[in-house]
């Protein structure tokens, strides 16, 4: 009887799944638009009064993106003032849209990966799964791993596309 050999398991290839780095914390928005007079002008006195009565607890433990969705000129201090209220209760505070914040958090997670386990290894960046992984995640992990990896491939260990091979 012939013994089946799992060549993928014996190859020493490391499969790297980006899905856990994409699925993140709770990202919410703080939009200055509702605080503007006629969605155009920020009145300092009114803005400060509105901030005092705003329900800040809704941001507790969350990653908050501060921005203004109205096409208005908003002074920089208005974003800073919102941050003063949000920072003590939120997990993090960021200037930009929720989409930009999610990308920033993704880059932070990828940049925090320790490279020791990947030195001189053959790595397959998993290409399919239940979680949508944005293209920027693949670019970021490739840039992170390339200096230490022996090779980087995309796909599944049984069917890969070569991306990088150290010469």
Domain boundaries, the chain: 7-23+113-165, 27-90
pLDDT at residue number 33: 96
Report the relative pairing of strands 13-16 and 27-31 from DSSP bridges.
Answer: unpaired
* Residue 64: pLDDT band with limits 50, 70, 90: very high
Q: Does the predicted TM-score (pTM) go above 0.75?
A: yes
Span 103-147, pLDDT tens digits: 999 999 999 999 999 999 999 999 887 888 889 999 999 999 999
d(CA 146, CA 36): 47
Q: What is the DSSP string of 28-56?
A: EEEESGGGSBTTTB--HHHHHHHHHHS-G
Span 4-51, pLDDT tens digits: 555 545 567 999 999 888 866 789 999 999 999 988 899 999 999 999
pLDDT at residue number 49: 97
Residues ≥6 apart with Cβ < 8 Å to 167: none
pLDDT at residue number 132: 84
Count the Cβ atoms, other than its own, within 10 Å of residue 158: 8
Question: What percentage of the chain exceeds 70 in pLDDT?
Answer: 92
pLDDT at residue number 39: 86
d(CA 18, CA 42): 41
């Amino acid at each position: 009887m012939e013994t089946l050999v799992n060549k993928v398991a014996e190859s020493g290839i490391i499969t790297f799944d980006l899905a856990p780095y994409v699925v993140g914390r709770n990202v919410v928005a703080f939009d200055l638009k509702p605080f503007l007079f006629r969605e155009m002008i920020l009145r300092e006195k009114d803005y400060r009064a509105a901030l005092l009565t705003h329900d800040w607890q809704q941001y507790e433990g969350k990653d908050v993106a501060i921005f203004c969705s109205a096409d208005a000129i908003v002074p920089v201090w208005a974003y800073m003032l919102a941050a003063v209220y949000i920072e003590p209760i939120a997990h993090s505070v960021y200037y930009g849209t929720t989409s930009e914040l999610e990308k920033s958090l993704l880059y932070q997670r990828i940049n925090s990966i320790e490279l020791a386990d990947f030195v001189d290894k053959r790595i397959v960046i998993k290409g399919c799964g239940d979680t949508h992984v944005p293209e920027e995640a693949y670019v970021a992990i490739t840039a992170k791993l390339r200096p230490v990896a022996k090779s980087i491939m995309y796909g599944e260990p049984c069917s890969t596309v070569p991306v990088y091979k150290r010469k």
